[in-house]
Chains A and B, each alone.
Chain A
């Protein structure tokens, strides 16, 4: 169970954010009801696939003020003729009588900070028969939260997160909660990889002086915001990777003193984490793609991962100014047998027990992509309703073809006013994947004294070698024998070109091992290291000590050779899922792989024994003390026979009578 001990600060902040979000939600709801009527007219304005440039259709708020809605209501009248009156959208919606409010939202324009929200759902049928759904919600806000001037007006960007970023001078924040393990062998690469449990990594601004203190506070606040056990992150599970976690956003700060990375592999993800995550969305779970996020279905899945990524991105291609990007992603894999009743037939309703009826009115783009690459002529499965829109994108080193449903167009929903895609397979056979890079990790050895950690990395590329960075964090209670570290590929020693090892300190910090390795083509590279298990204090064990202790996933960051040329320009037209990791060169793409977390048993003391042990040990010490004290304080004397009992009693009586003793 996730222990949600929200600390005072976190709780307070959480309550604040809740009240604020409720306010937004209420507002959005009104707003939605007003806007829906205009949708049909707007529909034909968007016949192309690409998202619209800034003069966005109504309701998307391409350029809107960050002022709060209360202010907007008060300024209805004087805001009537703002600078955006003359757009073509205006012309199309002029038959809508009561869109005054909607217009007002746009025309009350702040100084220069604009924000933009996009939502996206990618569905990828997996060859195993399972289905993978990946949601992405992206808010880009042209502002500098950590700058000098104080920002207090929030519109689409969640205020709770914004305040955290401002207060703790966060440059980048990446947090993920995952239930289940992503099986690369069966499913290929995910769009956003994440390890089982909770993962948090943060780049702080270089103005932060006390990074560890700020990190401690930040984890406590995030613990409150996400109702997770992030407050269990302390120095014993925090590391500063030197190479594996470079900033994903713009910025040239690479001094890893400002980076903190921690995982909680034991963290269980459930509804209480999903609810606060949904509250960060501009539409909450009221409209748009997020209506599909119902916990009773999402958690009835093999793999569930939700994440929040905040990073600075370029505002324009020349990158003169930066904006703040918030990406909320949610990945879920539904199992063929448990969720799909063994039938190779998937629909939105079967997956989420909901259908789509509208886009989020605040979104400038709202699309559903379905991966059709393996199905160019419809020989594998059939998709209904069919969509004329096709899109191609280079994702994870491969050119993929997608069918696209644009939710901002009313035509997408058809006459039933609801969209429920149906994928029906024609054959039951799926061909096995052979991902270029995958990995395994396990503990070898028996007994509770020593053991050996094996990490296997497979390069399945037939002729190309590529570099990987392996990052392992091992808790201090497994004492690594670093002199036993061996790296072998194809039976030969593979000498790492870079090793960064930080030994652990008991109860202070974990082991950190980072290695840069070259994986030869078509090979298995094995990294082994031996360790010894420590005995802990009885209060340091978890409530179920014989279950074992988790060791977080190793992180493999790799530059995998790409099949097709990668897009190196980060044009805003690319689908969101293909633009998560920045791409610097065409020949290879960056990906991250998480190995299995390990479960290691430690020797345990007898937990029922503390009193007995204290008593027995103290007795032994007392025996030692007593015998020495005895010999030290006494001297040898000739024993005088002691008088018998009767005589002694008689003497006592005689003394009382005042007579001389016998």
Chain B
């Protein structure tokens, strides 16, 4: 079985690129993965630097309560984090699998990693260009526009305030750069192909989910089993669902745009229409990691039982995709919870007391 390039979302520029690179496809994908790892390494390093700077300011201003010093990151424990992230990405079996399958999601990951790096470095032009590239490849990274903008604003010490003209000026400038590069990319594709047919072929394909080949996401079986007259409705609901979280998350996390980027990528990874195993570069906690591991082992087993042995049917595989999605959701919401709680402790102290002096428990209300 000769595996072709499983080009998931083939945009005209990628086709043009592979026109030259088709003989070196393996090397291209390996290089893309290495590039991603290096970009992630540098990005995390940059982020650590910024975190320490912020921490230092906060400590000097005595903003943290005294009992939560143990929550503050120390340079020694953070030292290996960039390396760990890069190694985790490179040694992740999912990444290796998608690289072997020559999946274009490797290229998308590289673009997104470069986007994160350039955003953290504070270069708005490069950030906008890479974001436009990522959006051009698959429209979902559009939602990353907001956290990038928030981060850059923060970096320039411009408050997010609609009455400030500098806020508007900067926002418009960033959006102009982003949309400008997007228009350039689409225009370039138009000149390469000489027609606009690629627009419905690429973006219509992502949005209307015509291809129901089983993958690890929620869409394929749902829309294979959907009643025809409800199809459009659920299509809209599911696609809006991906973009929907941008606004509330941005409001909630407007002080922490980097975590917002992480949350957005996670939400996209779970709810996008054609997810691939290459999209999931997340860290783990025990229960969820067990579920994810079990699912990863069961995916090929049940796939084999359904497709080759014929002793199982599609429901078996579908059940595993459901479980996998639930595990991912749990993972993301746990992260979100932990992050919020840490922030809460950083402002209110770690050991909270009730009015009567006994030890208090925190609840969400």
Contacts and interface: CB of A to CB of B under 8 A. Distances in A.
A635 B352 CA distance: 15
A94 B333 CA distance: 105
Given A447-B307, A534-B212, A605-B221, A638 B1 contact: no
Q: Which of A449, A484, A534 has the most CB of B within 10 A?
A: A449
B211 A614 contact: no
A450 B213 CA distance: 12
Interface string B199-232: 0000000000011111000101111111110000
B47 interface: no
B196 to A, nearest CB: 16
A448 B307 contact: yes
Interface string A563-606: 00000000000000000000000000000000000000001111
B240 to A, nearest CB: 11
A536 B223 CA distance: 9
Q: For this complex, into which size category does the number of interface residues on chain A fall?
A: 35 or more
Contacts of A620: 218, 322, 325-326, 329
B307 A481 contact: no
Contact of B225 (A484, A609, A624, A639): A609
Contact of B270 (A446, A447, A624): A624
Interface string B1-29: 11010000000000000000000000000
Main secondary structure on chain A at its contact with chain B?
mixed
B315 interface: yes
Nearest to A641: B354
A636 B363 contact: yes
Contact of B210 (A506, A625, A633): A506
A621 B225 contact: no
B210 A614 contact: no
Contacts of A640: 354
B308 interface: yes
B252 interface: yes
Contacts of A536: 212, 224
Contacts, number: 141
B151 interface: no
Interface stretch (B102-110, B129-137, B241-249): B241-249
Q: For this complex, into which size category does the number of interface residues on chain B fall?
A: 35 or more
A34 to B, nearest CB: 61
Given A537-B226, A627-B329, A638 B307 contact: no
Nearest to B308: A447
A327 B20 CA distance: 54
A639 B360 contact: yes
Nearest to B356: A641
Given A631-B364, A639-B363, A603 B221 contact: no
A530 B1 contact: yes
Interface in B221-269: 221-228, 234, 238, 241, 245, 248-249, 252, 267
A499 B308 CA distance: 34
B362 interface: yes
Given A614-B225, A636-B344, A628 B325 contact: no
B313 interface: yes
Contacts of B270: 624
Contacts of A635: 344, 364-365
A449 B363 CA distance: 49
Q: Which of A450, A484, A627, A628 has the most CB of B within 10 A?
A: A628
Interface stretch (B75-83, B171-179, B335-343): B335-343
Given A624-B329, A636-B348, 14 more contacts: A448-B310, A535-B224, A535-B314, A537-B228, A610-B225, A614-B222, A621-B218, A624-B325, A627-B329, A628-B248, A628-B332, A632-B249, A635-B365, A638-B361
Which 5 residue pairs of A and B lie closest in terms of their CB atoms, listed nearest first? A627-B333, A447-B308, A634-B364, A638-B360, A613-B225
7 contacts: A449-B308, A481-B2, A536-B224, A606-B314, A616-B322, A635-B344, A639-B362
Interface of A: 446-450, 481, 483-484, 506-507, 530, 532, 534-539, 603-606, 609-610, 613-614, 616-617, 620-621, 623-625, 627-640
